[in-house]
């Protein structure tokens, strides 16, 4: 970013998300005061999950323009924002979580929208009522039908972006919708909520993202290999539950590879269909 510099050692110490935040803030400080960070750039400032690489340009909404204007670093979208739709974060103006989530539902893919909406509902950043109310205020907005569908489908029980994307892939493949975070109790007073459960099939499904093991270690204080062992013990006693007749796991690769998750689930379900 011309005119904006940071020490190399400091830059290298930042996470990818922190670098993206710094890039957004640097870009916005080159603009006039009416520009408000919006869309996926606003999502980054609020810690909302993103599928794929960040946008090459920083997205802002500007009430002073009538059509989209872009340069090498920013994209300015024409639009008006009410005072209740603007907040301040990291020293710059940004659309509120509700407006940000709604903008994404209106402009991004259904997959990206659901990942963001699930996260926002789970973390309490937005409510479905608030999203629906704001969407009703712009019924002719382009993408409103897709946004309404994404809001209806969104579920606060999806615990991670990989679970949210898995849900969309299942919907696209016309796979029976599972129960989310179904509770199980073990023989020694253990308790677990599984990511997905199909009670009619007795099938448990678990998405294995790397953050699951990293976060579990952070919360429990266990070392990585101890987390893996604990997860195996957990799976064993869940498998022993009389309601469980099958257990299937998948990863990010399975979710993003075309047809792979659908094939995995179909194979796991086939022998148990009644």
pLDDT of residue 222: 64
Q: In whole angstroms, how far apart are CA 73 and each of 4, 24, 25? A: 12, 9, 12
pLDDT at 266 over 80: yes
pLDDT of residue 273: 47
pTM for this one? Answer: 0.89
pLDDT of residue 158: 97
Confidence bin at 215 (pLDDT 50/70/90): low
pLDDT of residue 242: 94
pLDDT at 1 over 60: no
Average pLDDT over residues 211-231: 64
CB 179 within 8 A of CB 154: no
pLDDT of residue 16: 84
Average pLDDT over residues 225-241: 86
pLDDT of residue 210: 61
DSSP one-letter string for the chain: -TT----HHHHHHS-HHHHHHHHHHHHHTTS-TTEEE-HHHHHHHTT---SSSPPSSEEEEETT-SS-EE-SSEEEEE----GGGEEEETTEEEE-HHHHHHHHHHHS-HHHHHHHHHHHHHHTS--HHHHHHHHHT-TTSTTHHHHHHHHHH--TT--SHHHHHHHHHHHHTTPPPPEEEEEEE-TTS-EEEEEEEETTTTEEEEE--HHHHHHHHHHH---HHHHHHHHHHHHHHHHTSTT--EEEEE-HHHHHSTTHHHHHHHHHHGGG--
- Of 172, 51, 58, give the one whose Cα is nearest residue 113: 51
pLDDT at 155 over 80: yes
Length of the chain, in residues: 274
pLDDT of residue 214: 54
Listed ranges 5-19, 68-82, 150-164, 227-241; the one with the highest mean pLDDT = 150-164
pLDDT of residue 227: 77
Cα(first)–Cα(last) distance of the chain, in Å? 60
CB 58 within 8 A of CB 27: yes
- Residues contacting residue 111 through CB under 8 Å, at least 6 positions apart: 51, 165, 168
pLDDT digits over 31-59, tens only?
A: 877 899 999 999 999 999 999 999 999 99
C-alpha R_g of the chain: 21
Least confident of 44-48, 224-228, 237-241: 224-228
pLDDT digits over 109-133, tens only?
A: 999 999 999 999 999 999 999 999 9
Work out the mean pLDDT of the chain and round it to a whole number: 90
């Amino acid at each position: 970013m011309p005119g904006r510099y940071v020490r190399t050692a400091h830059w290298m110490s930042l996470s990818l998300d922190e670098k993206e935040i710094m890039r957004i803030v640097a870009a916005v400080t080159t603009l006039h005061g009416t520009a408000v960070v919006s869309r996926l750039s606003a999502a980054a400032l609020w810690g909302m999950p993103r599928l794929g690489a960040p946008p090459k340009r920083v997205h802002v909404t500007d009430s002073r323009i009538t059509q989209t204007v872009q340069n090498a670093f920013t994209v300015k979208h024409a639009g008006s924002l009410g005072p209740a739709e603007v907040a301040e974060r990291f020293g710059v103006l940004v659309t509120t979580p509700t407006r940000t989530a709604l903008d994404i539902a209106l402009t991004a893919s259904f997959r990206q929208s659901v990942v963001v909406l699930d996260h926002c509902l789970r973390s309490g950043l937005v409510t479905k009522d608030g999203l629906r109310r704001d969407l009703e205020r712009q019924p002719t907005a382009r993408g409103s039908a897709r946004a309404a569908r994404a809001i209806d489908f969104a579920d606060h029980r999806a615990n991670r972006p990989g679970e949210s994307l898995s849900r969309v892939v299942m919907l696209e493949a016309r796979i029976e919708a599972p129960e989310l975070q179904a509770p199980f109790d073990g023989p020694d007073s253990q308790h677990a909520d599984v990511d997905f459960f199909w009670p009619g099939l007795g099938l448990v499904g678990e998405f294995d993202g790397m953050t699951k093991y990293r976060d579990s270690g952070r919360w429990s204080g266990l070392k990585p290999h101890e987390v893996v062992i604990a997860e195996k013990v957990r799976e064993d006693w869940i498998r022993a539950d009389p309601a469980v007749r099958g257990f299937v796991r998948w990863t990010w690769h399975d979710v993003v590879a075309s047809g792979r998750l659908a094939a995995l689930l179909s194979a796991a379900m086939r022998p148990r269909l009644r």
